[in-house]
A and B are shown apart, each in its own frame.
Chain A
């Protein structure tokens, strides 16, 4: 004990104490943290519970029976009808944090704060799917990137997706504040469902356009881009010549002018 007391004024003592404190805090939290409930199989109960959840949380824009609503000013709609969008659309919009929409902006942004549990999302999906037939949520195997061909997916991606999402999936601008979001760090299932349901400004790529193998190839390509890293060093956002030019002007020129000033000041 004496040895410990003697070291209590050591410069590293505070850092060590902090680390211990943080570790204990983290361990305690993980012991008592609430766990997400496991999603089960869809039943008739789920549909009716889903309807209740829908009416409580979604109906203000989409209507009490998901028939869609107008805002009342002109032809602007508060929310479209959801008959026929399928479980996939609901799952995509809600599990990426886009719905419920936070504000009537040009486009619902992806968000890390997901408002509903997986279980609740499954119930609402079941309710919406019961309204009319629509695309279902894909199976694990359909979205498994290891089963796809990234080279083929790359070609499909460049022809079908790159004009909005950028050839490396970094995203791009659309008109009037709308945009094609970045596709990096998106779950394979969500990529698949986006293609299938065409959320926001995106067109629908149904199975006659891109069959499920093609969709899986595209997922494989996007994951290979993510995993491939940046062989050339920092990527500058993968945005191409704009950020490269900025880097040349700011960093390259800044550094060289700084050195020139220093050399100019040095006596001969």
Chain B
């Protein structure tokens, strides 16, 4: 009799002990991760994300700066909530900042001073919070520039572009609500201005103000209300939309710049684990470091210098934070004679367009652009390869013109500071900027477009002629030519990879029964816009042109004639001479 013990559930001697096989995930990952996966099933999703490949380019990190700044603002904001008192209740300051001791003020302002001077590390956290907020919106804007100018908003990413536009709008509303909380003279002036803006809504303006302020201005409700919007409502919506934004990027793959081996169907780059986990994780700390450095060295919003809010005074140099500057600038540029009364109601057209209409309008125009461009180009394909900005001259020019308009308004908001610092007349600055708002976009549009077209022509030239070596060669028969160095295939690919474009031609047609069918008004408009976009398009060098240019093995002056007319006659280009 063997002494080997038989398990209790093994009826026969040769029964194998039953053994629960480890789960598929546990076999693969094991350890703590396996334990978590057995209970949550997260392994598959995490594995998918860790293996996700992202392309590498510095401009793809602009969005990361925005994301990290937002996180930094969240963390530092949580710290501030521990001491900030969102109340307009009356108090007398008795803290350690001497010039304000004994001054009557609201509890909100007193607690902001308390954070700044009496809470250990309070001032630097306050400054980190504010600098992070400014950098958040700066980064959003430049991230938008990158996405716009590279055409990353095209199908299938239109929804994400719209989400991004809403995020950008909400970010500045979030910024404004935070700017208003300390209840110092500057932020109080901001709230007072906001009250005036709301009042300009025709007919309902004054009712709206009573609703927002819970009575006449200033009342005691506005700061608690802005506070709950600032720390609860808006952050919740921001984070929700931001999550959707990021999830869509992961689902749709990241776009990539054109280059050798990069197609519309692949992503050339590195996986998240370990490369981007390290790079992006490290970048978070770099952003945190830079913002902390700014906060440690440079004052932002010196609330103690402004004094408590009181509706009677106002300070010179009252400006909103930079992201609201364009709306403030519009107010400063709008002439006063635009106000009129009709049927007993005042229509403040000298204020309303800048105060109430401009803000949503800018973000609506931005959000709608992908749909307009898609309609004009009729391009329903998916795009995962980015445009080089020069290869979409009209889009690039439209973007630059828009930026120039926005900048004129933004600089108008600083007209008083410009006047004192550059010793100019504020009236002259205002007149010049009024004209610039209409003229500058046209100039910028034209210049940008010409520069793009020239760059495209230069690319064509380079692809056809190759690189000028500067070496002059004398042939045995006494003539001279310059040797042109060959481009590598990789270099050439970037110059020729984009697709040729041409304006849509719409003509009055005939239907299947031979009855005249004039083009619809929409079609005609579309044809016109398409003409506007593509009439002077410079198309990439075709393989046939390239062959024609290189067929004699030197190709140094083969294309001269052809260059004058971009593509049509290239096929017939004949080298002037053989060697």
Q: Which residues of A line the B interface, CB within 8 A?
A: 106, 150-151, 154-155, 158-159, 162-168, 170-177, 179-180, 221, 224-225, 228, 230-236, 238-249, 251-253, 255-257, 259-261, 263-266, 268
In chain B between 289 and 312, which residues have their CB closer than 8 angstroms to a CB of chain A? 290-291, 294-302, 304-307, 310, 312
B300 closest partner in A (C-beta): A244
**Pair A253/B297 contact, Cβ less than 8 Å:** no
Rounded to whole angstroms, the CA-CA distance of A260 and B280 in the bound complex is 10
**Pair B420/A151 contact, Cβ less than 8 Å:** no
**Pair A173/B294 contact, Cβ less than 8 Å:** no
- Please list the 3 inter-chain residue pairs (A to B) with the smallest Cβ-Cβ separation, ordered nearest first: A172-B316, A245-B322, A232-B299
Rounded to whole angstroms, the CA-CA distance of A246 and B98 in the bound complex is 30
Rounded to whole angstroms, the CA-CA distance of A205 and B471 in the bound complex is 79
**Pair B99/A224 contact, Cβ less than 8 Å:** yes
**Interchain nearest-CB distance for A114 vs B (Å):** 21
**Pair A264/B131 contact, Cβ less than 8 Å:** no
**Pair B321/A244 contact, Cβ less than 8 Å:** yes
**Pair A238/B305 contact, Cβ less than 8 Å:** yes
Contacts of B317 in A (CB 8 A): 166, 170, 172, 239-240, 242
Q: B217 within 8 Å of A by Cβ?
A: no
Contacts of A155 in B (CB 8 A): 103, 307
Q: Are A167 and B134 also in contact (CB < 8 A) when A225-B99, A236-B298 are?
A: no
**Interchain nearest-CB distance for B275 vs A (Å):** 4
**Pair A234/B298 contact, Cβ less than 8 Å:** yes
Q: Are A241 and B320 also in contact (CB < 8 A) when A177-B423, A234-B299, A256-B290 are?
A: yes
Contacts of A168 in B (CB 8 A): 302, 305-306
Contacts of B298 in A (CB 8 A): 232-234, 236, 247
A149 closest partner in B (C-beta): B102
Q: Which residues of B line the A interface, CB within 8 A?
A: 56-62, 65, 98-103, 116-117, 123, 127, 131, 134-135, 138-139, 142, 185-186, 270, 275, 279, 282-283, 286-287, 290-291, 294-302, 304-307, 310, 312-323, 325, 413-417, 419-420, 423-428
Contact for B419 among A167, A173, A257, CB less than 8 A: A173
Rounded to whole angstroms, the CA-CA distance of A104 and B99 in the bound complex is 39
A178 closest partner in B (C-beta): B425
**Pair A255/B58 contact, Cβ less than 8 Å:** no
Q: Are A259 and B316 also in contact (CB < 8 A) when A151-B101, A225-B99 are?
A: no
From B291, B316, B322, B423, residue with most partner A Cβ within 10 Å:
B316
**Interchain nearest-CB distance for A102 vs B (Å):** 14
Q: Are A176 and B425 also in contact (CB < 8 A) when A235-B299, A242-B417, A253-B142 are?
A: yes
Rounded to whole angstroms, the CA-CA distance of A150 and B102 in the bound complex is 10
**Pair A151/B99 contact, Cβ less than 8 Å:** yes
Contacts of B325 in A (CB 8 A): 241-242, 245
Contacts of B426 in A (CB 8 A): 173-177
**Pair A260/B62 contact, Cβ less than 8 Å:** yes
Q: Are A242 and B58 also in contact (CB < 8 A) when A253-B139, A263-B279 are?
A: no
**Interchain nearest-CB distance for A126 vs B (Å):** 35
Contacts of B417 in A (CB 8 A): 173, 239, 242-243
Contacts of B99 in A (CB 8 A): 150-151, 154, 221, 224-225, 228
**Interchain nearest-CB distance for A229 vs B (Å):** 10
B278 closest partner in A (C-beta): A268
**Pair B414/A260 contact, Cβ less than 8 Å:** no
B135 closest partner in A (C-beta): A252
**Pair A242/B420 contact, Cβ less than 8 Å:** no
Rounded to whole angstroms, the CA-CA distance of A162 and B305 in the bound complex is 11
Contact for B420 among A167, A171, A238, CB less than 8 A: A171
Contacts of B295 in A (CB 8 A): 233
**Pair B138/A248 contact, Cβ less than 8 Å:** yes
Rounded to whole angstroms, the CA-CA distance of A246 and B413 in the bound complex is 13
**Pair A242/B270 contact, Cβ less than 8 Å:** no
Rounded to whole angstroms, the CA-CA distance of A170 and B319 in the bound complex is 14
